[in-house]
Amino acid sequence: MKRTVPSVLSVMVCLEGMPKKTVLPAMASGDDSPIFEDDESPPSSLEKMTDLVAVWDVALSDGIHKIEFEHGTTSGKRVVYVDGKEEIRKEWMFKLVGKETFCVGAAKTKATINIDAVSGFAYEYTLEINGKSLKKYMENRSKTTHTWVLHLDGEDCRVVLEKDTMDVWCNGKKMETAGEFVDDGTETHFSFGNHDCYIKAVSSGKRKEGIIHTLIVDNREIPETPE
């Protein structure tokens, strides 16, 4: 996924519950501060977001993680947030291009934000997961995992099966499982609260389709959820 953001821009910023404001570029004062048309001091949350240049949602086995990146194209400031938590902050960088590497999720998945100059004062921001572009990573992931989302005990439950390891994740937690051979395949059993769950694996009989995995909760088949 590629995002190109010019270093000098005028944008309409609207946060929930706040009136719209036009953020105009400041002159070269060195503090990278926006000027507001109505001369009011900006709310702290809005002030924080003025250098936000890219946001990505990354689906991993333990959940969907939001990655936000701030880049001050005059100061070189770089700030990375993962699920709202600050992971990296560099206030002054003489080099405006480069990369920032950090970890995401319970499995400490490697993520890298690449900053490249496009032309003039425009920059391109791309996210890599485990050394692959986000698009390529998600394409590969769709082949190696299955995901189900269901409603149990008043809450949404996201179940993910990693086919290469047969690990099962539920709402960000790796589950304890027990495998069992049955007449037509295998069953991987686990519990969620008071609910008995298992993932059944049977051969499709077709080479292209391979193994079919089905989630059963309390003897009820759950349809798969595409991500």
CATH number, position 68: 2.40.128.180
For residue 41, CA distances in Å to 21, 25, 27, 36, 141 come to 11, 15, 17, 8, 45
What integer pLDDT is reported at residue 48 of this predicted model?
52
Q: Where is average pLDDT lowest: 4-13, 97-106, 153-162?
A: 4-13
- Co-location of 133 and 76 in the same domain: yes
Residue 28 lies in a domain: no
Identify whether the C-beta of residue 172 lies closer than 8 Å to the C-beta of residue 83. no
Could you report the per-residue pLDDT of 22-33, keeping only the tens digit for each? 333 332 323 333
Q: Does residue 43 register a pLDDT over 60? A: no
Residue 75 lies in a domain: yes
Average pLDDT of the residues in 59-77:
94
- Co-location of 153 and 123 in the same domain: no
For residue 7, CA distances in Å to 26, 73, 124, 194 come to 11, 5, 11, 54
The total of structural domains in the chain comes to 2
Q: Token pair 């049955």 is at which residue?
A: 182
Average pLDDT of the residues in 154-177:
95
Residue 6 lies in a domain: no
Q: Does residue 6 register a pLDDT over 90? A: no
- Co-location of 134 and 147 in the same domain: no
What integer pLDDT is reported at residue 23 of this predicted model?
31
Instruction: Give the residue among 34, 30, 22, 25 at the shortest CA–CA distance from 7.
Output: 25
Instruction: State the pTM of this model.
Output: 0.72
Distance between CA 196 and CA 88 in Å, rounded? 41
- Co-location of 130 and 167 in the same domain: no
Q: Which residues, other chains included, contact 94 with Cβ-Cβ below 8 Å and sequence gap of 6+?
A: 76
Residue 21 burial (CB count, 10 A) = 19
Q: Which residues, other chains included, contact 130 with Cβ-Cβ below 8 Å and sequence gap of 6+?
A: 109, 110, 137
Q: Residues 126-154, buried b or exposed e (16+ Cβ, 10 A)?
A: bbbbeeeebeebeeebeeebbbbebebee
Q: Does residue 156 register a pLDDT over 60? A: yes
DSSP letter at 43 equals P
Structural domain boundaries, residue 173: 142-222
DSSP letter at 42 equals P
Q: Does residue 11 register a pLDDT over 60? A: no
- Co-location of 187 and 112 in the same domain: no
Work out the angle at residue 99's Cα, subtended by the Cα atoms of residues 98 and 105, and round it to the nearest 5 degrees. 170
Strand-strand pairing, 132-133 and 85-90: unpaired
What integer pLDDT is reported at residue 74 of this predicted model?
84
Q: Does residue 162 register a pLDDT over 90? A: yes
Backbone angles phi, psi at 3, to 5 degrees: -135, 130
Instruction: Record the tokens describing residue 87, joined without a space.
Output: 């992971």
Q: Where is average pLDDT lowest: 17-31, 77-91, 130-144?
A: 17-31
